[in-house]
Amino acid sequence: MKTIVCVDSNWGIGSNNDLLYHIPADMKYFKEKTMGNVVVMGMATVLSLPGAKPLPGRTTVALSDDPDWAPEGVIVCRSIDEMLEKLKEFDTDSVYICGGASVYAQMIDFCDTAYITKVYACDKDAEKFFPDMDKKPGWYIAEESDYMEYNDLVFRFLTYKKDENITADN
């Protein structure tokens, strides 16, 4: 399983149920990675999508406790266990954990790859965060793109991988 996220320098990812940054190259990167695949999201993130509709060309699996929430085109699971069972129906390499903060926190330990768009800025309004991957034992940066710039924001794409042989004691 993989995860994909855009973070600021403090691992901030959102505020007011919206993204911190809307960088076209990041949106394109997200689309390229997830197109044709399975995207896993919490209810708040689904509601934050344009028109609160699932993204076209992808299978959306969403988490919610609300028994009445059943949007068209979304497979809703009521617990992590129910979702893990449902995800067995798909090739694990095709599954992308796409947020928000609560879902990232619960699912990061099931992932082996994290596609991180790192924006070298701090948004003081950030209220939702991704786990600090530089402090997570067993994770390392396997690939990094060149630095890019958009509207005075410097960013790049980092691929973190999990090495099961590295532990907190190493």
Which residues of this protein are in contact with ligand NAP, per CB under 6 A?
5-6, 13-14, 17-19, 41-45, 48, 63-66, 69, 78-80, 98-103, 106, 128
Q: Which is nearer to ligand NAP, 66 or 91 (CB)?
A: 66
Q: How far apart are CA 104 and CA 156, in angstroms?
A: 20
Spatial contact of 43 and 66, defined as CB atoms under 8 Å apart: yes
Rounded to whole angstroms, the maximal C-alpha distance in the chain is: 47
Phi and psi at residue 131, to the nearest 5°:
-55, 145
Q: Which is nearer to ligand NAP, 50 or 170 (CB)?
A: 50
Q: How far apart are CA 32 and CA 34, in angstroms?
A: 6
- By beta carbon distance, the residue nearest ligand NAP is 100
Q: How far apart are CA 36 and CA 94, in angstroms?
A: 8
CB of 38 to ligand NAP, least distance (A): 15
CB of 71 to ligand NAP, least distance (A): 11
CB of 170 to ligand NAP, least distance (A): 29
Q: Which is nearer to ligand NAP, 37 or 106 (CB)?
A: 106
| Helices vs. strands in the chain: H and E counts, helices first | 4, 12
CB of 87 to ligand NAP, least distance (A): 13
